[in-house]
Chains A and B, each alone.
Chain A
Amino acid sequence: DAGITQSPRHKVTETGTPVTLRCHQTENHRYMYWYRQDPGHGLRLIHYSYGVKDTDKGEVSDGYSVSRSKTEDFLLTLESATSSQTSVYFCAISDFQGPYGYTFGSGTRLTVV
């Protein structure tokens, strides 16, 4: 498997608290993505990065921010968690500008109570 790890794997947090999810890769891939998976919605893009300090919004970016200070790490922050952000979050990486099969991490299951 490609070197991509997500942490934590599971998290329960309270409404209104900030939460940061981490995606770490050892593949030196330029592109990194955060998706969320919800029943009835499939996978939806939150934010993506095309290089260090270069990020952009996806389809469902409200309430989320990201940072990429080095190639290997892409952080997703829920500024003030809400119950609607209960979801499974997946990070993905790609090594060039082409959809030749993103590689996904194993996911983080986040529950906001």
Chain B
Amino acid sequence: DQQVKQNSPSLSVQEGRISILNCDYTNSMFDYFLWYKKYPAEGPTFLISISSIKDKNEDGRFTVFLNKSAKHLSLHIVPSQPGDSAVYFCAASAAGGGADGLTFGKGTHLIIQP
């Protein structure tokens, strides 16, 4: 039973435009959400996170929005750059802070077209 869902396996966006990656979750105990970025042959790298007490967190070109009632979060990248082409994983942790591990989605492959 998949608790974190990324329903778009891939997304193609033109350079300079906005990229919007979506993530849905089913476990109401999740209270902290993260996005990771992964290049081929490398480990995932932490990108941005958001606590359930917030509905928005911004870091430079990256903004994460959380809609708790809909159990939905999204990552906005604006403007999109060629180096943003990667696989993006949504992850979540339940109360306890994630010490017992994060639950990841399947990932979305973002392709930035020149």
Residues of A within 8 A of B (CB): 31, 33, 35, 40-45, 48, 50, 56, 58-59, 90, 92, 94, 97-107
Q: Are B43 and A42 in contact (CB under 8 A)?
A: no
Interface centre among A41, A94, A102, A103 (most CB of B within 10 A): A102
Interface centre among B36, B43, B44, B91 (most CB of A within 10 A): B43
List the B side residues contacting A44 at CB < 8 Å.
104
List the B side residues contacting A48 at CB < 8 Å.
99-101
Taking the complex as formed, is B93 at the interface, i.e. its CB lies under 8 A from any CB of chain A?
yes
Chain B: residues with Cβ within 8 Å of the partner, total of 26
Given A31-B99, A42-B89, A94-B98, does the pair A101, B46 have CB atoms closer than 8 Å?
yes
Compute how far the CA of A35 lies from the CA of B103 in the bound complex, rounded to whole angstroms. Answer: 10
Given A97-B97, A107-B43, does the pair A102, B102 have CB atoms closer than 8 Å?
yes
Query: Number of residue pairs across A and B with beta carbons under 8 Å?
Result: 66
List the A side residues contacting B103 at CB < 8 Å.
45
Compute how far the CA of A48 lies from the CA of B99 in the bound complex, rounded to whole angstroms. Answer: 9
In the complex, besides A102-B98, A103-B46, 4 extra interface pairs with C-beta distance below 8 angstroms are A42-B107, A45-B103, A99-B98, A102-B102
CB distance from A60 to the nearest CB of B (A): 11
